Structure 1
């Protein structure tokens, strides 16, 4: 199938899950078990994903060579939604030299001493690179919002901790993304939307299968008590920061094969939209290359 047709097919499956308008967004309109009408065997899904990752690798090679644009992929989700596996499978073919992955854990004392965006802004991808945030600055309006005691540790002046702080932080994030986009950073944000039932199933697998025990943390179960609060926080965050230059993708995550295909499709589509190409060699450079070729030929 010609790549133009493949791209049209990718867009067909990506569009229903892309959120660029803030008005009217409701998380309940998205089904975590949705597969976009696709029905396929695991082998077929794997083959399709491999085709997508191969295409992504080609686009990344041109991104690195052109050295103009950068791409930031932001992953947010509840525990066990499959962020790590999605990143691993979708990015399996890219050159590690042009890719940077950051997993943001509990902030250090140095990071707490700065504004809430400081540690994330420092990790934005450089030109020609793909940056991946496994959790991101959105934690500051998700986990911190659900657990406001964490806000106390950030040492903000008390007059600034008002009822509007979450709206203010979301506005700051939206402005930050607008700024980054104007500097040549293409931003894609993925919310891996797993159902509460599927999360429970995956937690049980981690408990019952010895090779998966290391993945389990007692805090995972504690956080399930705040499920509704998290869903509200996610809905508010997506609705407040969705835009054309930094779209959200609400990725159904109950079926891992589909979530990986969707993330790969959205990423390939974004890369193609940049119209990447290898740098053209000008007359002066061609002259240098000819001289180098002549020098090498004389060594024979």
Structure 2
């Protein structure tokens, strides 16, 4: 797979119409599900074990999308295949009263991984350059510098987010970001399925329909976000989210590529510990039943 096809180049003016919401020219479905995807998952599992054992680097995975785009399913399928000790997951919704008393990046730190871990942010700090632009009352006057016009807030926050992600990268934590590019019709079908199927009613929120009314505005905000925050140290990948399985495959391939560049290794035992290990092996082998 050519993962660069889905990469947002630095300083590129993004139009989501240039990115497909579905892929027509990929593998035969049976071959894809039984061969290519499992092989990619196995590579990811092996590399994740090495990352966890080495405990030198970490990876921050950002997932952003409209409702019903497949974020939760991607987490469940892909990352459920990885060792739980090497994973953290955090979900960010509307800021709490306590979170509002801090700077907008404060709450993100609790969800960041330690060295040897992959940290998944289901939504993220990018909520703070999305929701306030859709709902003007979400950005209070005290949340930006005195005398600054609201239109000046977003370039400032893009710069701050880029600096924050560069700081993470320079300190050993790679940042990879996935935007689930779903068509409006596909979202409609998925929401209706949740509403009509009693076993899926729990997944539906009336707020999903409310937010859908702002679809065009969301697309404009997403384009601006992608245009200003895809960097060499924290790139965005745009997924054809109408194809859920193929999107999951792209995520695994990007993760594998990132881990292969990190090239984590299992720690080697010291000569002193090797001697102790040999003694322990001998003790257990000579142990009477």
Question: What's the TM-score once normalised by structure 2's chain length?
Answer: 0.93
* 1:31 lines up with 2:20 in the alignment: yes
* 2:185 match: 197
- Choose from 232, 248, 270 the match for 2:220: 232
- 1:214, 1:272 → 2: CA distance? 39
CA deviation string 1:190-215 (max 9, x = no partner):
00000001101111111111111111
* 1:56 lines up with 2:44 in the alignment: yes
Shift in CA distance, 227/42, structure 1 to aligned 2, threshold 3 Å: farther
Equivalent residues of 1:112, 1:154 under 8 A apart? no
* 1:93 match: 81
Aligned ranges for residues 246-257 of structure 1 at < 5 Å? 246-257=234-245
Equivalent residues of 1:34, 1:252 under 8 A apart? yes
Deviation at 1:24, TM superposition (A): 3.5
- Choose from 69, 78, 98 the match for 1:81: 69
- 1:157, 1:191 → 2: CA distance? 29
Equivalent residues of 1:72, 1:125 under 8 A apart? yes
Q: Which moved more, 1:104-113 or 1:41-50?
A: 41-50
* 2:4 match: 15
- 2:135, 2:254 → 1: CA distance? 32
Equivalent residues of 2:88, 2:112 under 8 A apart? no
Aligned ranges for residues 143-154 of structure 1 at < 5 Å? 143-152=131-140
Deviation at 1:34, TM superposition (A): 2.5
- Choose from 160, 168, 175 the match for 2:163: 175
Q: Which secondary structure state, in structure 2, belongs to the residue aligned with residue 92 of structure 1?
A: helix
- 2:149, 2:287 → 1: CA distance? 71
CA deviation string 1:5-35 (max 9, x = no partner):
xxxxx3x2x1100123123332221011234
- 2:184, 2:59 → 1: CA distance? 31
Q: Which secondary structure state, in structure 1, belongs to the residue aligned with residue 80 of structure 2?
A: coil
* 1:137 match: 125
Deviation at 1:225, TM superposition (A): 1.6
Equivalent residues of 1:75, 1:83 under 8 A apart? yes
Deviation at 1:153, TM superposition (A): 8.4
CA deviation string 1:261-294 (max 9, x = no partner):
1111111111111111111223233233234335
Q: Which moved more, 1:288-297 or 1:133-142?
A: 288-297
Q: Which secondary structure state, in structure 2, belongs to the residue aligned with residue 231 of structure 1?
A: helix
* Number of matched pairs: 288
- 1:136, 1:120 → 2: CA distance? 7
- 1:39, 1:231 → 2: CA distance? 29
- 2:116, 2:129 → 1: CA distance? 29
Unpaired segments ≥5 residues, structure 2: none
Equivalent residues of 2:92, 2:123 under 8 A apart? yes
Q: Which moved more, 1:95-104 or 1:26-35?
A: 26-35
Q: Which moved more, 1:82-91 or 1:158-167?
A: 158-167
Equivalent residues of 2:194, 2:204 under 8 A apart? yes
* 1:184 match: 172
Equivalent residues of 1:53, 1:92 under 8 A apart? no
Question: What's the TM-score once normalised by structure 1's chain length?
Answer: 0.90
- 2:93, 2:212 → 1: CA distance? 19
